[in-house]
Amino acid sequence: MFRKALIAATALVAVPALADTPELLLRGYAEQARTTSASYAGPSPAAGRRLFHQQPRDWSCATCHTDQPTATGRHAITGKAIGPLAPSANPERFRNPAKVEKWFKRNCSDTLGRPCTSAEKADLIAFLLDPKNGA
C-alpha cells in the first residue's frame, strides 16, 4: 500500500519532466510575455528568424548554429560540433527548461550583449519549430 503510494507519488513528480515538450516551453514563454505586455501579439517565427540572424557584435546565433535550423553547427572559437537546434532534427532540444534557460542566458549575452526577453525566446522557439523556415 505504502509502496504503491510511493510509486504513484514518484510518477506524479516525473510527469512534468515528461511533458516538457518544445511546444509547452514555447507556450510558457508566450504566457510570460503576455503578463508583461497586454498588447502582446503572440510568438512570431519571422521575428525569431530575424533575431537569429541579427549580428550587433562579433556573432549571430547562426555563426555557431548555421542558418539552417536542421544543420549541425560548429562553435565559433573551438570548432566543436553542435547538434541541430530544430527539434525535428534533434529530439533532445527544448526538453529541459533549466538547460534551455542556461543557454538562452549565455548565448543572448554573447551574441546580443543583453538577455533575451520572454517574447524573443518564444519567437526563437517558434522559428526553430516552423517547417516553413526549414525546421
Which residues form the interface with ligand HEC (CB under 6 A)? 59, 61, 63-65, 75-78, 82-83, 85, 93-94, 99-100, 103-104, 106-108, 110-112, 124
Tabulate helix, strand, coil % of the chain (nearest 5): 55, 5, 40
Of 44 and 107, which CB lies nearer to other proteins in the complex structure? 107
Nearer Cβ to ligand HEC (29/94): 94
Task: Give residue number: closest CB to ligand HEC.
Answer: 61
Answer for the pair 73, 64: CB distance below 8 angstroms, yes or no.
yes
Binding site for other proteins (CB under 8 A): 75, 77-80, 102, 105-107, 109-110
| Torsion region of 134: left, alpha or beta (phi above 0 gives left; psi -120 to 50 gives alpha) | left
Shortest gap between Cβ of 24 and other proteins (angstroms)?
22
Q: How far is 94 from 87, CA to CA, in rounded Å?
A: 7
